[in-house]
Homo-oligomer: A and B are copies of this chain.
Amino acid sequence: METWQAINTLRVVREFSERAIEPPELERILNAGRRTGSSKNDQHWAFVVVRDRDHLRELAAVGHYAGHLAGATLAIALVTPDASGHYDNSVMWDCGRAAQSMVLAAWELGIGSVPATVYDHALAHRLLGLPEDRRCDFLLSFGYPADASVLTRPSRAGGRLSLEELVHEERW
């Protein structure tokens, strides 16, 4: 799948089929994150791959909209340093870049995904067994879509602001 096509056709998938994600597919998705550029090449991220159904169900409680984790084929938790108790902006910016690489690499394989935002950080910390100096703000659910038609579905009209609304020339 051409890069622009992947970017333009990407849809959020919240319901997943029983079809397994094979090891080479998972490896490609993880490598897509791993290969992503980061500020000063810090690579301040780690990836926890969760597949156990009970564990995924427990993780579904970390956020208000994280229920999709319960039905994911697997989830990847993005873990970052938490030395100072807060992030500098570049950590989350870099993680977002790595996530987008993973999501697009998956989509090319026909694998859907959706991010989950962590609200209950203590719960995520405990369930993922993180050290004191690490935290998780986002997980990604992955799986083949329950409804394969999502892979070719046209984008919803009005789902995004127009370029005219978003773009400024030279100055605001």
Q: B39 touching A115 by the CB < 8 A rule? A: yes
- From B5, B12, B163, A37 is in contact (CB under 8 Å) with B12
- Count contacts on A: residues with CB < 8 A to the other chain: 76
**Number of copies of this kind of chain in the complex:** 2
Indicate if A41 sits at the interface (CB-CB under 8 A): yes
Q: Which residues of B contact A35 (CB under 8 A)?
A: 7-8, 10, 155, 160
Q: A4 touching B30 by the CB < 8 A rule? A: no
Q: B95 touching A167 by the CB < 8 A rule? A: no
Q: Which residues of B contact A65 (CB under 8 A)?
A: 40
Q: How far is the CA of A143 from the CA of B37 in the complex (A)?
A: 18
Chain B, Cβ-Cβ closest to A130: B172
Q: List 21 A-B contacts (CB under 8 A).
A: A1-B2, A2-B2, A2-B3, A3-B104, A3-B108, A4-B28, A4-B105, A8-B32, A8-B35, A10-B37, A31-B163, A46-B166, A48-B171, A51-B170, A79-B172, A89-B92, A95-B96, A96-B100, A127-B171, A129-B171, A131-B172
Name 11 extra pairs, CB < 8 A, besides A30-B166, A49-B169: A1-B2, A7-B35, A7-B101, A10-B35, A12-B37, A37-B115, A48-B169, A94-B96, A97-B97, A97-B103, A100-B101
* Residues of A participating in the B interface, judged by any CB pair closer than 8 Å: 1-8, 10, 12, 27-28, 30-37, 39-41, 43, 45-52, 55, 65, 79, 87, 89-90, 92-101, 103-105, 107-108, 115, 117, 127-131, 134, 137-138, 155, 159-163, 166-172
